[in-house]
Structure 1
Amino acid sequence: MSSSVPRTVKAVDTSELIRLDAQAIECRLNRNHGAGWLAQFADPEAVHYLWPVLVHQARHRPEFSPHWRCMLLLAVRDGQQVASLLDVLPASFEDLPETVDAATKTEVTRRLEYGSLLTQAQWADLNACHEPADIDAAFDRGEQHVETALIALVYNNPDTDAVLPRVARGLRSPNPETRRQSLLALMHTARLHSRVDTITLELLHGLLRDRTPISAGSRYEVWGTATQTVGDLQVFLPSEQLPAWVNAFTDY
């Protein structure tokens, strides 16, 4: 067995990631997500990325040592990517096909090293948000990653009369990443609760002209997510619930 990790990044779908996580749990390796967590919170349709970063020894399980500790770019159910860790047996990693091109490998490693991503634990804490007042307080404090808690509120609180005003506040944010994530919150509100309102639709219409990059140096702009959101509303809501401009929109 090699004494150094392979210098590569491999992509896995959610079912394969759950299998690798279950193997880590069964082998009692230190870095795993716990039984059932990925099945509940990982995006079931997404691709995730494993990057081996060190050789790890588990003295309590010498039969599974050494193994590879991988940084994991994990796509979660709200559309975000977060940083996590997973211990993987070398043979299991080697069995994964090499499908990732060089440019994507570079981008994945850059994001994991320098991308200021939420960790899986931070995301899980924010994902517990149920109370609209907590979102108000986070906005008032200018809290970083308030948009993650906002999306969690959409998932956890079915009262759209309470949720949609907070989505609207996010859509008005001076922070372009908060505006982008709030568009995702609006989409999830339509998907999960079959409702939007006049105010959020007006704000969505305005964001179709928002050419602000979502972060410094990014090639992605807010209007792109707004465009996708219009298409999502066409899918998730009946046409009679939407204004004429949404029903007629085709500029995807």
Structure 2
Amino acid sequence: MASEWDWEGGEGLLGMDDPAEWDAACERGENHLGTAAIGLAYGCSLEEAAPRIVRAMQLPDFEQRRYAFTAAGAAARVNRNLTPQLYAAARDEGPKGIAVHAIADTLYAVPFRRLPLWFKWRKVRSKARNKLESWWLRSGEAVGDAWRSLRGRRS
């Protein structure tokens, strides 16, 4: 049976909603599996999509791995949760690698109480850092305003 999906060119794979077709394409060694994993994140349940997304995260092609991490972020936004395997894969890749956007999407979309400990730590660290940067910028503006005020009085 010929596949209805364009695995060679990748056209239409963002609409992928058939985990069995994704599995068959993976067995055949088709291209664009990471792209199709994004489609699975939107078109299937988290339980169906997650093992395939994790598998796509291990592909040899860097771009397809990057798309798999995009799929993980999409799954987090759609489901407001991830599976333990997806959390582990994102944590293992780290916040400075290709998982940076998947981690950010997860921290944004998943409620704090559902996050594993490492992600909770990332969220607390991020909030604290943002607050400190905000205070630093505001203090710099205050010093600048005071300096301009002093210079204005001398003229």
Q: TM-score, normalised by structure 2?
A: 0.67
5+ unaligned residues in a row in structure 1: which ranges?
A: 1-117, 210-222
| Contact 1:132–1:163 (CA under 8 A) maintained in structure 2 | yes
In structure 2, the residue matched to 1:83 is none
List structure 1 segments (4+ residues) > 6 angstroms apart after TM superposition: none
Shift of 1:135: 1.0
Corresponding residue of 2:66: 180
Identity over aligned residues, as a percent?
27
**Corresponding residue for 1:162?**
48
CA contact (8 A) 1:168 1:200 kept: yes
Query: Contact conserved, 2:80 with 2:109, CA < 8 A, in 1?
Result: yes
Question: Of the two, which has the highest radius of gyration?
Answer: 2
| Equivalent residue number for residue 43 of structure 1 | none
Normalising by structure 1, we get a TM-score of 0.43
Q: CA deviation at 1:243?
A: 1.2
CA RMSD of aligned residues (A): 2.1
Bigger relative contact order (CA 8 A; separation at least 6): 2
Structure 1 residue 226 displacement after superposition? 1.0
Contact 1:172 1:203 in 2 (8 A): no
Question: Aligned pair 1:144/2:144, yes or no?
Answer: no
Other structure's SS at 2:97 match? helix
Query: 1:202: which partner in 2?
Result: 88
2:3 corresponds to: none
The CA distance in 2 between the partners of 1:236 and 1:133, in whole Å, is 28
Match of 2:141 in 1: none
How far did 1:171 drift?
A: 1.5
Provide the rounded CA distance (Å) in 1 between the counterparts of 2:108 and 2:35.
Answer: 23
**Structure 2: which amino acid aligns with 1:155?**
Y
> Is the counterpart of residue 242 in structure 1 residue 115 in structure 2?
yes
Equivalence for 2:16: 129
Query: Over residues 154-202 of structure 1, what are the superposed CA-to-partner deviations in whole Å (9 max), with x where a residue is unaligned?
Result: 1122x21111111111122232222211110000001112220111111
Match of 2:57 in 1: 171
Q: Mind listing any 5+ residue stretches in structure 2 that lack a counterpart?
A: 1-8, 130-155
Residue identity in the other structure for 1:231: A
Alignment correspondent of 1:22: none
Task: Map 1:1-252 onto structure 2 (within 5 A).
Answer: 122-124=10-12, 126-157=13-44, 159-208=45-94, 223-249=96-122, 250=125
Corresponding letter in the other structure for 2:15: A
Q: Which has the higher helix share?
A: 2
SS at match of 2:11: helix
